[in-house]
Amino acid sequence: MLTPCRGHYDSHHTVIRCNRCFEEFSKKPEKNIHQRNCTANDTSPTLEVIDCDKADEIDEMISSFRTWKLDDEQDEQMKTWVMKYKLELNNKTKDDAHDSRELGKWYKYWGILYPTHQGVVPTPCEYSLAKH
């Protein structure tokens, strides 16, 4: 479900840019050297891209899901959301670890990509249901 997202954002939406002045670079080391001395505090431009720092945050989140289990999740709102959509899509009452993990990733992706979003995280399945 979410595996193709990883390669897609890397190749189509990720830019390497300073998170202070938003100057773009061709390589991360160049950005890191520049950013150490950058004193700008500009407002983030509204671009439909994921910068390299956000991509790193997403990669770190994905890594945390290698051993993630729904029963161990501390975020009750997330647990409720995962169970709702898993039941809606698969009609399963028993936890299927893979489905839970993929839905959990979607929930976390949404929080990373839209940190100021208020309200319920939307279903990841509208696209896939509409497509079929």
pLDDT per position as a tens digit, 12-68: 567 888 888 888 888 889 999 999 999 998 777 665 677 788 888 888 998 888 888
pTM of the complete model: 0.65
The length of the chain, given as a count of residues: 132
Asked whether residue 131 carries a pLDDT value surpassing 90, the answer given is no
